[in-house]
């Protein structure tokens, strides 16, 4: 999928939310309206989930989902880039991604949490669902107020370097406790000596 196609899907989902009073009424209990103005999504799309965690948009059937953009984390000299879309099905609290790239929602927060160049570093906040994450969003942060873990198998790789994370509820704290256990150290490779070197006593 090209970047332009991803943008088009995101814009269509945003327009669908804005043009349908029925759709907006369905979204309101789950996703605050003001968040759409912050670049954090809130578009609506019916989706067909796949077993690999991705989804396809559909015009008929499927499951209603709230669409949020996944921005690549900030870095020196980097501009915001849309790398994936996250589809949250609030009735089941399930998250699917369009391309299978996104591992967390709120990429910017991972970069900025406890950053050594920050004057006031803060621990990373981890939310249980996109709706809770959206309700806590503040202006001009691009989601840097915290994250929602999409792929828990990637949690150690993405968050294991941090000294502190703050779970906003007890079930998420338990999931983090399990997901952030360091993986077992790999066995060192066997060291063999080439026959010719052994004969010369080089080893």
Q: What is the pLDDT of residues 34-74, one digit of tens each?
A: 887 777 889 999 999 999 999 999 988 899 999 999 987 55
Instruction: Please tell me the distance from the alpha carbon of residue 171 to that of residue 58, in angstroms, as a whole number.
Output: 32
Burial 81-109 (b: 16+ CB within 10 A, else e): eebbbbbbbbeeeebbbbeeebbbbbbbb
CB atoms within 10 A of CB 167: 17
Burial of 182 (0-12, 13-18, 19+ CB in 10 A): exposed
Confidence of residue 18 (pLDDT cuts 50, 70, 90): confident
Which residue matches tokens 């670049």?
39
Residue 82: strand pairing partners: 71
What is the structure's pLDDT at 122?
Answer: 78
Share of the chain above pLDDT 70, in %: 85
Please indicate, yes or no, whether the overall pTM of this predicted structure exceeds 0.85: no
């Amino acid at each position: 999928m090209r970047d332009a196609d991803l943008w088009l899907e995101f814009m269509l989902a945003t327009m669908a939310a804005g043009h349908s009073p029925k759709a907006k009424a369905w979204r309101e209990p789950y996703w605050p309206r003001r968040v759409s103005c912050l670049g954090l999504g809130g578009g609506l799309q019916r989706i067909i989930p796949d077993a690999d965690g991705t989804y396809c948009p559909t015009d008929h059937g499927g499951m209603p989902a709230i669409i949020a953009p996944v921005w690549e984390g900030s870095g020196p000299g980097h501009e915001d880039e849309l790398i994936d879309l996250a589809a949250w099905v609030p009735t089941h609290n399930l998250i699917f991604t369009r391309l299978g790239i996104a591992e967390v929602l709120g990429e910017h927060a991972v970069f900025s949490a406890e950053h050594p160049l920050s004057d006031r570093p803060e621990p990373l906040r981890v939310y249980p669902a996109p709706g809770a994450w959206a309700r806590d969003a503040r202006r001009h942060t691009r989601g840097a107020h915290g994250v929602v873990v999409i792929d828990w198998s990637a949690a150690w790789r993405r968050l294991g370097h941090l000294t502190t994370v703050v779970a906003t509820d007890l079930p998420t704290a338990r999931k983090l406790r399990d997901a952030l256990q360091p993986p077992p150290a790999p066995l060192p490779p066997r060291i063999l000596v080439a026959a010719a070197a052994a004969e010369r006593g080089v080893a």
